[in-house]
Amino acid sequence: GGPVDIIGRLLGQKLTEPLGQQIIIDNRAGAGGNIGTAAVAKSAPDGYTALITSSAFAVNVTLFPDAGYSAERDFIPTVVVASQPNLIFVNANHPAKTLAELLSLAKTTKTAFASPGSGTTPHLTGENLFNVVAKLGMTPIHFRGAGPAVTAVVSGEPAIGSMAISGPLPHIKSGRLRALAVSSAKRVPSLPDVPTFAEAGFPGLQDYTWVGIFFPAGTPSAVVHKLNESVNRALQSADLLERLEANGFDPVGGSLDQTAEYVKAEIVKWGKVVRETGAKPD
């Protein structure tokens, strides 16, 4: 599954006890996540419904100007659970062994890269690197989620991918895919030999795919605080941290104020990238 599925599953098990009830994950796919987001925006603010979503929440403010809800007015940013960098990778049979080699080859060969969907942060990371910064004119091929996109690169059609780490990670470990560079500030423990974008010659590029929880506006403050505290406590547990790391995630956590500031900054940042890349929804 994608980052939201993985975090939802790992965290749901940890929150059942402190919250005193079973956490039910209701996947509402479609329209870049807007169908599920709009459903939560319209739900009763009674504390029984929350949105767990990815950084698409921040991207969609600019990508979908008529999404049917307001990210700023209709939600309370409650906690960013975890984040992971995006990854540029290739099929194991691809001749490029480094990001520099990939970019050099792409200058002379018409090529394409796989993304988990138009306007997702991995798509925008690839679009920004390949087409805004390196000016290659590489064609993005959008799939419906990380699973189908990874499968396509494993089969070599296309042979290049830009995705959050958790999707391609098992295939990198098995040798079917080769990781070239990660979009984080420092190397990640799950792929210690893979350089960052900065190490590969692109110091200005740092992007993360994150997973956060939001309550609909009007949810009682006590409920919001309790979930924030419960998630922060869960992020201190050794077994959860171990499982996050195994899937390529870093824990984030933080106070309600820190979460609100983080989300606000991400909306501004990704808005700029959407405009620069000219990204459009599927």
Whether the per-residue pLDDT at 225 is higher than 70: the answer is: yes
What is the predicted pLDDT for the residue at 66? 87
Percent of the chain with pLDDT over 90: 82
Q: What CATH number is given for 3-83+207-277 in this structure?
A: 3.40.190.150
Question: Taking residues 215-237, what's their average pLDDT?
Answer: 97
What is the predicted pLDDT for the residue at 43? 96
Taking only the tens place, the pLDDT of each residue in 11-29 is 998 998 888 888 888 888 7
Split at pLDDT 50, 70, 90, the class of 171 is very high
Whether the per-residue pLDDT at 132 is higher than 80: the answer is: yes
Find the angle CA(83)-CA(87)-CA(91) to the nearest 5 degrees: 145
The domains spanning 3-83+207-277 and 84-182 adopt the same CATH topology: yes
Whether the per-residue pLDDT at 38 is higher than 70: the answer is: yes
Whether the per-residue pLDDT at 252 is higher than 70: the answer is: yes
Taking only the tens place, the pLDDT of each residue in 76-104 is 999 999 999 999 999 999 999 999 999 99
Split at pLDDT 50, 70, 90, the class of 2 is confident
Residue 243 exposed, middle or buried by CB count within 10 Å (0-12, 13-18, 19+):
middle
What is the predicted pLDDT for the residue at 281? 83
What is the predicted pLDDT for the residue at 1? 64
Give CATH superfamily name and number for 84-182: Periplasmic binding protein-like II (3.40.190.10)
Question: Taking residues 184-209, what's their average pLDDT?
Answer: 94
Question: Taking residues 199-214, what's their average pLDDT?
Answer: 94
Q: What is the pTM of this model?
A: 0.90
Query: Which residues partner with 209 through β-bridges?
Result: 84
* Alpha-carbon separation of residue 227 from 18, 145, 213, 214 (angstroms): 9, 28, 9, 10
Q: Which is nearest to 4 in space by CA: 281, 214, 239, 263?
A: 214
Whether the per-residue pLDDT at 30 is higher than 80: the answer is: no
Highest mean predicted confidence (pLDDT) among 1-10, 25-34, 141-150: 141-150
Q: Where are the domains of the chain?
A: 3-83+207-277, 84-182
51-54 and 139-142 as β-strands: parallel, antiparallel, unpaired? unpaired
For the chain, give the mean pLDDT: 94
d(CA 180, CA 130): 13
Which two tokens mark 246? 């195994």
| Residue 220 burial (CB count, 10 A) | 12
